[in-house]
Chains A and B, each alone.
Chain A
Amino acid sequence: MGSDYLSVNAVVPRFGTGVMMRGVLRWPKECAGVREGGNRVAEVTVSVDGVKYSDHVEPRLLLVHYLREVVGKTGTPVGCDTSNCGACTVLLNGESVKSCSVLAVQADGAEVTTIQGMATDGGLHPLQEAFHAEHALQCGYCTPGMIMAASDLLRENPHPSDEEIREGLEGNLCRCTGYENIVRAVRRASQAGVSA
């Protein structure tokens, strides 16, 4: 299947206007082989969690769908369609981005780190350890994005105050924890000296 996953949601008009879920962009012939008209297919080369991938993708393909459906990195989930929830946060060349608001083609030549690239042979990343130790997750759906956003926060500000942690994670929603233990976990990782 791979590259035939295209993002429709990013381009649909809002519901309730009488026209619902109409894709605006069209299939490329080259990609789907079944669709008339359409756009070019672009080649992207992306390093994901240290492994290099080259794929032909539709220009409208979102990075999160590329990661989930083409590369098979389902550790990065999708929580909304308006880049509000942050569940899909990954690092793009070391900086956190919401992978639902980046096109796969924009990641060409870049290094992407997902939650699945955080643990190393030496074990869990200190933020993963801290989220576990502080019970900073319940259902865990927001956790990948939360950890990735927190890692970028600590890179920019290795010793944030609690208020800075809260503001730094403002773009990541959690419905389970009330954030208290997430703040504690980031503080704990900060004290352990995580800076990347």
Chain B
Amino acid sequence: MTAQPETAAAPAAEFGRARLRKEDERLITGQTTWTDNLRLPGMLHIAFLRSPYAHARITSVDVTAARSEPGVIAAYSGADFAAEQGSLPCAWPVTPDIVMPAHPPMAVDEVRYAGEAVACVVARDRYAAADALAAIEIDYEPLPPVLDMRAALEEGSPKVHEAGNKSFVWPFANGDVDAAFEGAPVVLERTYRQQRLIPAAMEPRSVVCSCVGGEFTLWSATQIPHVLRVMLALVTGIPEQSLRVIAPDVGGGFGSKLQVTAEEVLAVLIARKLGRPVKWTETRSEGNMTVHHGRDQWQRIRIAADADGRVRGLDVDLLADMGAYLMLVTPGVPLLGAFMFPAIYKMDAYSFKCTGVFTTKMPTDAYRGAGRPEATFAIERIMDELAAELGLDPLELRERNWIKHEEFPYTTIAGLTYDSGNYEAATAKARELFDYDGLRREQQRRRTDNDPVQLGIGVSTFTEMCGLAPSRVLGSLAYGAGGWEQASIRMLPTGKVEVVTGSSAHGQGHETAWSQIVADQLGVPFEDIRVLHGDTQVSPKGMDTYGSRSLAVGGMALVSACDKVVEKARVIAAATLEASPDDLDWVPGRFEVRGDPDKSVTIGEIALAAFAAHNLPDGVEPTIDAEATYDPDNFSFPHGTHLCATEVDTETGFVTIRSYVCVDDIGTVVNPLIVEGQVHGGLAQGIAQALYEEAVYDDDGNLVTSTLADYLVPSAADLPSYVTGRTESRAANRLGVKGVGEAGTIASTPAVVNAIIDALRPYGVDDITMPCTPERVWRALQEARGGPAGSAADQHAARQSDQTQGNSPQASDGGQA
């Protein structure tokens, strides 16, 4: 790393600088502190016995024999925890009449998904614990699984819970939807499937808990140490002040570690029972089964438009699979999408309805994007369908409908006020980087030549709401907590700075970006700043990291805290310089006497003066440390234009991404290196949903994709190189920042699928259910020609056909092929 110039009068701006990361040194040398690396004296290991049934009554459990296995200290069944384990929390009861069944961390009477913990062994090492599970006697009375959320709502369906399979119905409407659809020259209806995904962070979950004299310390691979602490106190009744939660280095989350898990609660209870530290680390197979899943929706979407393509109205009816229970924000995830279906488009009316459905599967919850990728997929897919219906270029159709840059701030039909954006600029830049017109010419050429490998161009002009979130908005949506963030600045006597943040990074590079922000605000060198986070004893307040909120909320908290430091320092500087506070100019790094800049004092000198406290004015406290809690006024709204070119082999169904261009407007940028990395990773996850990934249960409700051999997280060889660009419209906050963590994931899935459909539309294909595997693409080609899948012989004839079946109102039922 290059050294910073030390001249405090004119420090180089850190904001916008591609600083290499402070975090890297420990990560590239193997010195990282993953939770599973932790070994405490006397530590015991937990192994869980998990249900092999998707749905069953537990008729008997006997752990006696396991208790006498070698090395085993204890064995427990759900009954042993029944009096104290409470219910895993759901913090987002989206409607007053929501059905929110109790969710015991360990099943006592009934299991409702395969993998639910039913008993455990605590032994002196992990493998003794795992071996002894075999000695547990457990009998089940199988009950019918409930696996299809549409069938779950039918009368006579077996019930997941006594109260039935419907958890809630959440409606929203604005404008006269009936009027928008009545007499509309064009009405399209489609049904899209958001397949179930497994977040698959590379670090498996791990928990360590110690209990000494009634004081608990929990280390967990979590995104949310602060929320977890509160929730553990509420669930277990352990006083909050006796709980310390530490998130050490955390190996990725993507929403999957935004959770209060059964294993965390049980680790606390077991540590308390035994008075010894305990550890549990999941295997990948356990993780695929029991880390919450993402997506899993059926989306029925209708759009009404004028003949020129102007959108009149949108009507969305969602079924969202909750899985077996409501976990931390399970019901809220589809609602985060509710506001995003209208996307960047102006329209007269919008209605939305979401039905939350219970099934006997692992609960769903936040996964990168959380509701917004689903919404973006559906609107961007149907905009392409509308363009095809009207014979318009998909970018032309979008431009006719999007909010013009001069119209910001703009309140959408979903009630959000977009503070800034420039869709024209992002699209123009993306077109240029992509060579849009050239690729369209090539596409035409391949169509004319009946090339067996067709070229498709996919468009996604997305926006998202992130920077979660204004507390009062969250309150109005029945979320249980606020959306503020906390920061503290500790000015050390040597002039160095400790920054404490309530954000809890797990790969995002906060230690670097936060140092850059504070360096500019306080005029201290980047190298002199240390960022602390992820430990409720070090960072006592926080709302943690998810929803692309860290910078837009936590970064603003930093700025507010720095402001307070400067104002406190001003008083001491005035005394030191024997001047009036009002006569001092703050030049980041120092106060100067106005008109006499030779008379100055640096922030470091002021920190030392406060530490010594020998000559402070009366009534001035001897510190310039400060803390601030920032609650945003609004969400932030990153947007961008993503363009994908796919080559689709019509004979094999194989899809190759030939080029991918994205231009994102995420507001101002603290560190372009980190931003680009976030975009790349987001793209990979969005592309993976389009092409590769799906959590599959068999007919009995067992997870088939329980390993990384079955669940296809793409490798470097499966993914393209990306071309990234940026445009910039400032967000309405002081830093001008919007957030970038989820943008790539939200935008890319529809871009890829639109590109595949665009390649195959002349064959009559207008939908393929994700993931668009070669088999599904091939079958879609066969079925589009009206013949049964498998009649490949008439493939050539299909190439001659044009625009058949382009208007099928119903998508296939999920590509169960």
Contacts of A151 in B (CB 8 A): none
Contact check, B28 vs A128: say whether CB atoms are below 8 A apart. Answer: yes
Report the separation of the CA atoms of residues A14 and B709 in the bound assembly, to the nearest whole angstrom.
12
Contact check, A141 vs B251: say whether CB atoms are below 8 A apart. Answer: yes
Contact check, A23 vs B130: say whether CB atoms are below 8 A apart. Answer: yes
Q: Return B46 CB to nearest CB of chain A, in Å.
A: 12
Please name the residue on chain B nearest to A137 by beta carbon. Answer: B27
Known: A78-B204, A140-B249. A175 touches B716 (CB 8 A): no
Contact check, A21 vs B252: say whether CB atoms are below 8 A apart. Answer: no
Q: Return A44 CB to nearest CB of chain B, in Å.
A: 18
Among candidates B30, B284, B677, B717, residue contacting A76 with C-beta atoms closer than 8 Å: B30
Contact check, A21 vs B708: say whether CB atoms are below 8 A apart. Answer: no
Among candidates B24, B31, B285, residue contacting A132 with C-beta atoms closer than 8 Å: B24
Contact check, B203 vs A141: say whether CB atoms are below 8 A apart. Answer: yes
Contact check, B200 vs A179: say whether CB atoms are below 8 A apart. Answer: no
Contact check, B34 vs A74: say whether CB atoms are below 8 A apart. Answer: yes
Q: Return B41 CB to nearest CB of chain A, in Å.
A: 11
Among candidates B26, B249, B252, residue contacting A176 with C-beta atoms closer than 8 Å: B252
Report the separation of the CA atoms of residues A174 and B523 in the bound assembly, to the nearest whole angstrom.
37
Q: Return A47 CB to nearest CB of chain B, in Å.
A: 17
Report the separation of the CA atoms of residues A15 and B48 in the bound assembly, to the nearest whole angstrom.
12
Known: A138-B508, A170-B715. A73 touches B30 (CB 8 A): yes
User: Is B297 on the interface with A (CB-CB < 8 A)?
Assistant: no
Per-position binary interface string of chain B over residues 25-62, scored 1 when its CB falls under 8 Å from any chain A CB and 0 otherwise: 11111111010110100000001011010000000000
Overall SS of chain A's interface? loop
Per-position binary interface string of chain B over residues 716-729, scored 1 when its CB falls under 8 Å from any chain A CB and 0 otherwise: 11010110000000
Contact check, B36 vs A8: say whether CB atoms are below 8 A apart. Answer: no
Contacts of B791 in A (CB 8 A): none
User: Is B71 on the interface with A (CB-CB < 8 A)?
Assistant: yes
Determine, out of B120-128, B423-431, B443-451, the stretch whose residues face the partner at the interface.
Answer: B120-128
Known: A15-B50, A114-B30. A87 touches B202 (CB 8 A): yes
Report the separation of the CA atoms of residues A167 and B50 in the bound assembly, to the nearest whole angstrom.
37
Q: Which of A27, A141, A175, A176 has the most CB of B within 10 A?
A: A175
Contact check, A178 vs B722: say whether CB atoms are below 8 A apart. Answer: yes
* Contact count band on B: 35 or more
User: Is B254 on the interface with A (CB-CB < 8 A)?
Assistant: yes
Contacts of B36 in A (CB 8 A): 74, 77-78
Per-position binary interface string of chain B over residues 231-266, scored 1 when its CB falls under 8 Å from any chain A CB and 0 otherwise: 000000000000000000111101000000000000
Contacts of B65 in A (CB 8 A): none
- Count A-side interface residues using an 8 Å CB cutoff: 77
Contacts of A143 in B (CB 8 A): 27-28
Contacts of B50 in A (CB 8 A): 15, 20-21
User: Is A116 on the interface with B (CB-CB < 8 A)?
Assistant: yes
Contact check, B29 vs A128: say whether CB atoms are below 8 A apart. Answer: yes
Contacts of A162 in B (CB 8 A): 721
Among candidates A115, A116, A175, residue contacting B202 with C-beta atoms closer than 8 Å: A175
Report the separation of the CA atoms of residues A133 and B593 in the bound assembly, to the nearest whole angstrom.
42
Please name the residue on chain B nearest to A33 by beta carbon. Answer: B70
Determine, out of B464-472, B553-561, B639-647, B678-686, the stretch whose residues face the partner at the interface.
Answer: B678-686
Please name the residue on chain A nearest to B135 by beta carbon. Answer: A22
Contact check, A82 vs B284: say whether CB atoms are below 8 A apart. Answer: yes
User: Is A94 on the interface with B (CB-CB < 8 A)?
Assistant: no
Q: Return A153 CB to nearest CB of chain B, in Å.
A: 11
Q: Which of A78, A81, A162 has the most CB of B within 10 A?
A: A81
Contacts of B286 in A (CB 8 A): 15
Q: Return A102 CB to nearest CB of chain B, in Å.
A: 18
Contact check, A82 vs B708: say whether CB atoms are below 8 A apart. Answer: yes
Known: A32-B71, A138-B507. A20 touches B284 (CB 8 A): no
Known: A77-B36, A178-B683. A138 touches B252 (CB 8 A): yes
Q: Return A3 CB to nearest CB of chain B, in Å.
A: 10
Contact check, B70 vs A22: say whether CB atoms are below 8 A apart. Answer: no
Contact check, A84 vs B28: say whether CB atoms are below 8 A apart. Answer: no
Tell me the A33-78 residues at the B interface (CB within 8 Å): 34-36, 68, 73-78
Contact check, B114 vs A179: say whether CB atoms are below 8 A apart. Answer: no
Contacts of A16 in B (CB 8 A): 52, 114, 700, 702-703, 706
Contact check, A176 vs B681: say whether CB atoms are below 8 A apart. Answer: yes
User: Is A9 on the interface with B (CB-CB < 8 A)?
Assistant: yes
Contacts of B680 in A (CB 8 A): 177-181
Report the separation of the CA atoms of residues A21 and B28 in the bound assembly, to the nearest whole angstrom.
33
User: Is A172 on the interface with B (CB-CB < 8 A)?
Assistant: yes
Q: Return A50 CB to nearest CB of chain B, in Å.
A: 14
Contact check, B202 vs A75: say whether CB atoms are below 8 A apart. Answer: no
User: Is B800 on the interface with A (CB-CB < 8 A)?
Assistant: no
Report the separation of the CA atoms of residues A181 and B283 in the bound assembly, to the nearest whole angstrom.
28
Report the separation of the CA atoms of residues A131 and B202 in the bound assembly, to the nearest whole angstrom.
18
Per-position binary interface string of chain B over residues 178-208, scored 1 when its CB falls under 8 Å from any chain A CB and 0 otherwise: 0000000000000000000000111110000
User: Is A147 on the interface with B (CB-CB < 8 A)?
Assistant: yes
Report the separation of the CA atoms of residues A110 and B289 in the bound assembly, to the nearest whole angstrom.
37
Per-position binary interface string of chain B over residues 15-29, scored 1 when its CB falls under 8 Å from any chain A CB and 0 otherwise: 000001101111111
Report the separation of the CA atoms of residues A150 and B716 in the bound assembly, to the nearest whole angstrom.
12
User: Is B612 on the interface with A (CB-CB < 8 A)?
Assistant: no
Contacts of B114 in A (CB 8 A): 15-16
Contacts of A87 in B (CB 8 A): 202
User: Is A92 on the interface with B (CB-CB < 8 A)?
Assistant: no
Please name the residue on chain A nearest to B368 by beta carbon. Answer: A175
Report the separation of the CA atoms of residues A169 and B719 in the bound assembly, to the nearest whole angstrom.
12
Contacts of A179 in B (CB 8 A): 680, 684, 715-716, 719
Tell me the B703-744 residues at the A interface (CB within 8 Å): 703, 706-709, 713, 715-717, 719, 721-722, 744
Report the separation of the CA atoms of residues A138 and B23 in the bound assembly, to the nearest whole angstrom.
9
Report the separation of the CA atoms of residues A79 and B708 in the bound assembly, to the nearest whole angstrom.
10
Q: Which of B26, B128, B254 has the most CB of A within 10 A?
A: B128
Known: A176-B677, A178-B719. A139 touches B708 (CB 8 A): no
Contacts of B784 in A (CB 8 A): none
Contact check, A6 vs B252: say whether CB atoms are below 8 A apart. Answer: no
Contacts of A68 in B (CB 8 A): 37
Among candidates A15, A77, A171, residue contacting B34 with C-beta atoms closer than 8 Å: A77
Report the separation of the CA atoms of residues A133 and B50 in the bound assembly, to the nearest whole angstrom.
44
Among candidates B30, B131, B204, B709, residue contacting A84 with C-beta atoms closer than 8 Å: B709
Contacts of B26 in A (CB 8 A): 140
User: Is B506 on the interface with A (CB-CB < 8 A)?
Assistant: yes
User: Is B673 on the interface with A (CB-CB < 8 A)?
Assistant: yes
Contact check, A20 vs B127: say whether CB atoms are below 8 A apart. Answer: no
User: Is A166 on the interface with B (CB-CB < 8 A)?
Assistant: yes
Known: A140-B27, A175-B202. A27 touches B252 (CB 8 A): no
Please name the residue on chain B nearest to A16 by beta carbon. Answer: B702
User: Is B133 on the interface with A (CB-CB < 8 A)?
Assistant: yes
Known: A79-B203, A141-B202. A169 touches B716 (CB 8 A): yes
Known: A22-B133, A85-B202, A128-B28. A166 touches B716 (CB 8 A): yes
Contacts of A131 in B (CB 8 A): 24, 28
Contacts of A183 in B (CB 8 A): 716, 721
Contact check, B133 vs A175: say whether CB atoms are below 8 A apart. Answer: no
Contact check, A172 vs B285: say whether CB atoms are below 8 A apart. Answer: no
Contacts of B204 in A (CB 8 A): 78-79
Contacts of A99 in B (CB 8 A): none
Q: Which of B30, B127, B283, B744 has the most CB of A within 10 A?
A: B30
| A21-B130, A85-B713, A140-B23 known, 14 other contacts, Cβ within 8 Å | A20-B50, A21-B133, A22-B131, A34-B71, A78-B204, A80-B707, A85-B202, A132-B24, A135-B674, A139-B250, A147-B28, A166-B715, A178-B744, A179-B719
Smallest CB-CB A-B distances: 8 pairs: A75-B30, A140-B27, A141-B251, A139-B507, A178-B684, A178-B680, A16-B702, A84-B708
13 pairs from A and B in contact (CB 8 Å cutoff): A23-B134, A27-B70, A74-B37, A79-B204, A85-B284, A85-B713, A116-B29, A138-B681, A139-B203, A140-B23, A141-B201, A178-B722, A179-B719
A residues adjacent to B (C-beta < 8 A): 1, 4-9, 12, 14-23, 26-27, 32, 34-36, 68, 73-82, 84-85, 87, 114-116, 118-119, 124, 128, 131-133, 135, 137-144, 147, 162, 165-167, 169-183
